[in-house]
């Protein structure tokens, strides 16, 4: 069988390797000819994962048995579209895939199903001020069909929307954008798996972000347990309503939730494995074989689906911190210390993501991430000690020896945890 992986970047690397370990031949499609997963697959395709025609042509050429993606939004729609056209198995219909990848369709579904979300408007290039009636600034503007925080901006006026409209369309295949009210809030991520139409909640994590105005929402860290763990019953009930709205019988669930003064509001939803290396930390934390189940699901095989009680019991008493670090603007010359970080007690994995010689621009979105590492332990204090030690070992410098590695106190567990 040939598993056709859409995307060959760091978010797909673990899945490509695992598919090979399971004895599958892997075809990777990625327009980046230096995509790291190309080193671990049998067949290569340079089709863009946004281009269903090109992906479909290569699926026919190589005889793909099924299509799959992990850690990225838009290829989910491509996989559903190509699978339907070629009669291949896929766990989402095209309408379902569009709902979880197009923010206009997604937001309209929220309204129809009484899912709490920020007030919004969809704007065309010739929009009038009246189209924003009922919305209060500041607003957040977004492309309808992008990913990785590309083009996500906080704006204070209609003039700023007009000034940035074309920039947002550069990240989109659509001719409209989304404008929604900014909701002061903490961010949460609900990772789960639909089982017979109901969510098995695997982990609820705090999604710690940073702004670089006007760009917002770039993730620095995930931590477990969430500071909102005492409200898990509410979050699970909300996850159930979203799963019912999607109509997903079985498959991955990934929901971003905002927690603020007006309660929980749903930011975005997806039916994919998360892009924050969840496939590397959810299995050891929960006992749920995330990658194996994803491969089996898309290939039509048998899944291992433990109950909610088993997952909760496994998680009890555990702590986790995923650190996703960035570098200051400049040309990256030196990267050292990751081997030492990976050898620290409790560290599951880690790697640098940018090669030496990369020219790093001012941070605008998550594509500029410089590296990551994952730490587990039995207390917030022990994790903070390991995180501090890790950053003391890591070196990212320019050619003149200046430190480029960025660290923020918010990346640690709060002292009161």
pLDDT for 239 beyond 90 = yes
Residue 417 banded pLDDT, cuts 50, 70, 90: very low
pLDDT for 416 beyond 70 = no
User: Among 75-84, 94-103, 248-257, 297-306, where is mean pLDDT lowest?
Assistant: 297-306
Residues above pLDDT 90, as percent of the chain = 92
Q: Which CATH class is domain 185-411?
A: alpha beta
Distances (CA, A) of 317 to 91, 276, 308, 378: 34, 22, 16, 6
Q: Residue 308 gets which letter from DSSP?
A: H
Q: What's the pLDDT at 174?
A: 92
Nearest of 68, 40, 416 to residue 271 by alpha carbon: 68
Residue 367 banded pLDDT, cuts 50, 70, 90: confident
Read off the pLDDT of residues 304-325 as tens digits, 9 standing for 90 and up.
999 999 999 999 999 999 999 9
Shared fold status for 2-90 and 119-181: no
Average pLDDT for the chain: 95
Contact predicate 209/218, CB 8 Å: yes
Q: What's the pLDDT at 99?
A: 98
pLDDT for 63 beyond 70 = yes
Q: Residue 326 gets which letter from DSSP?
A: -
Read off the pLDDT of residues 160-210 as tens digits, 9 standing for 90 and up.
999 999 999 999 999 999 999 999 999 999 999 999 999 999 999 999 999
Contact predicate 78/107, CB 8 Å: no
| Residue 242 neighbours by CB distance under 10 Å | 22
Read off the pLDDT of residues 209-230 as tens digits, 9 standing for 90 and up.
998 889 998 999 999 999 999 9
Q: Where are the domains of the chain?
A: 2-90, 119-181, 185-411
Q: What's the pLDDT at 212?
A: 87
Residue 150 banded pLDDT, cuts 50, 70, 90: confident
Give 293's contacts (C-beta < 8 A, 6+ positions apart): 193, 303, 304, 305
Q: Torsion angle of alpha carbons 303, 308, 313, 315, nearest 10°? A: 80
Read off the pLDDT of residues 324-352 as tens digits, 9 standing for 90 and up.
999 999 999 999 999 999 999 999 999 99
pLDDT for 98 beyond 80 = yes
Q: What's the pLDDT at 213?
A: 87
Mean of pLDDT values over 378-399: 96
Domain 119-181: CATH architecture, name and number where available: 2-Layer Sandwich (3.30)
Provide φ and ψ at 9, rounded to 5°.
-85, -170
pLDDT for 147 beyond 90 = no
Residues above pLDDT 70, as percent of the chain = 100
pTM above 0.85, yes or no: yes
Mean of pLDDT values over 360-383: 92
Mean of pLDDT values over 47-65: 97
Q: Which CATH class is domain 2-90?
A: alpha beta
């Amino acid at each position: 069988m040939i598993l056709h992986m859409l995307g060959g970047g760091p978010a797909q690397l673990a899945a490509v390797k695992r598919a090979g370990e399971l004895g599958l031949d892997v075809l990777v499609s990625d327009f980046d000819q230096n995509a790291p997963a190309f080193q671990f697959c049998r067949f290569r395709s340079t089709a863009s994962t946004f281009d269903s025609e090109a992906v479909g042509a290569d699926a026919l050429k190589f005889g793909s048995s099924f299509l799959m993606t992990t850690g990225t939004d838009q290829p989910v729609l491509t996989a559903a579209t190509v699978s339907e056209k070629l009669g291949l198995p896929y766990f989402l219909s095209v309408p379902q895939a569009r709902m979880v990848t197009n923010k206009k369709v997604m937001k309209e579904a929220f309204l129809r199903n009484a899912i709490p979300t920020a007030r919004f408007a969809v704007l065309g290039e010739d929009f009038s001020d009246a189209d924003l009636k009922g919305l209060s600034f500041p607003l957040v503007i977004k492309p309808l069909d992008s990913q990785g925080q590309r083009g996500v901006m906080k704006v204070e006026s209609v003039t700023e929307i007009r000034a940035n409209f074309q920039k947002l369309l550069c990240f989109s295949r659509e001719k409209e954008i989304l404008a929604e009210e900014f909701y002061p809030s903490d961010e949460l991520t609900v990772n789960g798996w639909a089982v017979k139409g109901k969510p098995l909640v695997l982990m609820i994590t705090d999604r710690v972000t940073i702004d670089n105005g006007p760009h917002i929402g770039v993730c620095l860290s995930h931590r477990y347990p969430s500071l909102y763990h005492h409200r898990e019953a509410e979050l699970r009930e909300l996850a159930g309503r979203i799963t019912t709205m999607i109509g997903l019988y079985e498959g991955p669930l990934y929901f971003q939730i905002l927690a603020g003064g007006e309660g929980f509001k749903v930011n975005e939803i997806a039916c994919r494995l998360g892009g924050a290396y969840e496939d590397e930390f959810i299995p050891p934390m929960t006992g749920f074989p995330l990658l194996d189940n994803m491969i089996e699901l898309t290939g039509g095989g048998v899944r291992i689906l433990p109950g909610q009680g088993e997952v909760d019991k496994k998680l009890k008493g555990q702590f986790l911190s995923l650190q996703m670090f960035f570098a200051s603007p400049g040309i990256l010359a030196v990267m050292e210390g990751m081997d030492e970080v990976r050898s620290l007690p409790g560290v599951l994995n880690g790697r640098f993501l940018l090669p030496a010689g990369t020219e790093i621009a001012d941070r605008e979105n998550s594509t500029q991430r410089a590296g990551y590492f994952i730490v587990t332990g039995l207390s917030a204090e022990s994790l903070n000690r390991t995180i501090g030690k890790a950053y003391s070992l890591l070196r990212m410098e320019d050619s003149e020896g200046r430190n480029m590695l960025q660290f923020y106190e918010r990346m640690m567990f709060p002292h009161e945890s």
